[in-house]
């Protein structure tokens, strides 16, 4: 299945809304036929093997196929129409990031623009030498991920939830868990563990982001158990404690707060008990950073 066929009728994400993107129809994500971009710049706040010394070349797309109540990027993911580009213009932005010395090209929230992303890379790759990162919320279809084989070097998906009730309640994403776990397995098949060069910069592989939500809404420990049992304990993790209530989170009193030290410690202990040794754990201001092996460091 080609990426173009997946976009009209649209089956790029698990909503499978079926709109005809080539005719300008818009689905839940509100994306049109041209890629709309919020920002293009070197970013130094990503995980260490992506940011390195010179930054990750981030391209933040507008719109999103998830409707997270706590979205930190809601001003451009849900509520704005920003700069639309042609494929050729996007390819030029990619090459400009490479010229700035970025270690990679990092497409942020690319699911709904995956065909245009791939087209722009086909143009840019006549000279592009750095890896491509696919930075997704994890609600892509399995057909899309299979079609990205050979295009993406580094997969960086979220695993937001381990219960569909939570996924639907907070992100309007029915069936998130089964779909997410299916594509995680496919990404792992394609890319395997993160491979670093001699300077510690990622060249290929997979890195999973786990955002701890209050009240165990994310079910992070259950997700860790799944990874241990059905993927690999060698997988690289980025465990994030940075959650804070924003956007519409205040409409949900149970997530209208930061996580507690106890919630943080339960997750970090589970990581240690399950034998995960690769990745990064964000520190918590009320608790010490956890070093769970030679490769795990605070992000």
Encode the chain (299 residues) as per-residue pLDDT tens digits: 689 899 889 999 999 999 998 888 888 898 888 899 999 999 999 999 999 999 999 999 999 999 999 998 888 876 565 678 999 999 999 999 999 999 999 999 999 999 999 999 999 998 999 999 999 999 999 999 999 999 999 999 999 999 999 999 999 999 999 999 999 999 999 999 999 999 999 999 999 999 999 999 999 999 999 999 999 999 999 999 999 999 999 999 999 999 999 999 999 999 999 999 999 999 886 343 443 333 444 44
H helices, E strands: number in the chain: 10, 10
Which residues are CB-contacts of 70 (< 8 A; sequence separation ≥ 6)? 170, 213, 243, 245, 246, 247, 248, 249, 255
From the list 208, 180, 181, 183, the residue with the least C-alpha distance to 193 is 208
Q: Provide the whole-model pTM.
A: 0.94
Residues 6+ apart with CB under 8 A from 233: 227, 274, 275, 276, 277
3-state secondary structure of 196: strand
Please state at what angle helix 220-230 crosses helix 261-274, rounded to 10 degrees.
10
CATH superfamily membership of 3-281: Aldolase class I (3.20.20.70)
C-alpha 111/C-alpha 42 separation (Å) is 21
Neighbours of 186 (CB within 10 A): 18
Q: What count of other Cβ atoms lies within 10 Å of the Cβ of residue 101?
A: 13
């Amino acid at each position: 299945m080609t990426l173009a066929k997946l976009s009209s009728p649209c089956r790029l994400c698990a909503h499978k809304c079926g709109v005809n993107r080539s005719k300008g129809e818009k689905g839940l994500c509100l994306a049109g036929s041209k890629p709309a971009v919020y920002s293009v710049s070197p970013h130094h706040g990503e995980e260490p093997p992506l940011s390195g010394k010179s930054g990750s070349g981030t391209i933040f797309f507008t719109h999103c196929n998830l409707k997270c109540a706590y979205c930190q990027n809601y001003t451009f993911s849900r509520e704005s129409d920003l700069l639309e580009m042609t494929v050729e213009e996007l390819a030029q932005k990619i090459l400009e990031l490479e010229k700035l010395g970025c270690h990679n090209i990092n497409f942020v929230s690319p699911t709904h623009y995956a065909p245009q992303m791939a087209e722009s890379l086909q143009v840019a790759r006549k000279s592009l030498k750095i890896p491509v990162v696919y930075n997704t919320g994890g609600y892509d279809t399995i057909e899309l991920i299979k079609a990205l084989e050979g295009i993406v070097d580094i997969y960086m998906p979220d695993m937001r939830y381990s219960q569909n009730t939570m996924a639907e309640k907070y992100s309007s994403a029915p069936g998130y868990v089964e779909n997410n776990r299916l594509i995680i397995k496919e990404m792992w098949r394609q890319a395997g563990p993160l491979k670093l060069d001699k300077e510690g910069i990622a060249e290929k592989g997979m890195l999973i982001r786990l955002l701890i939500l209050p009240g165990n809404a994310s079910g992070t420990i259950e997700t860790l158990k799944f990874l241990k049992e059905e993927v690999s304990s060698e997988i690289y993790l980025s465990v994030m404690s940075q959650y804070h209530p924003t956007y519409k989170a205040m409409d949900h009193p149970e997530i209208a707060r930061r996580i507690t030290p106890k919630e943080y410690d339960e997750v970090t202990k589970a990581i240690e008990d399950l034998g995960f040794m690769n990745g990064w754990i964000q520190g918590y201001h009320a608790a010490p950073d956890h070093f769970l092996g030679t490769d795990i460091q605070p992000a």
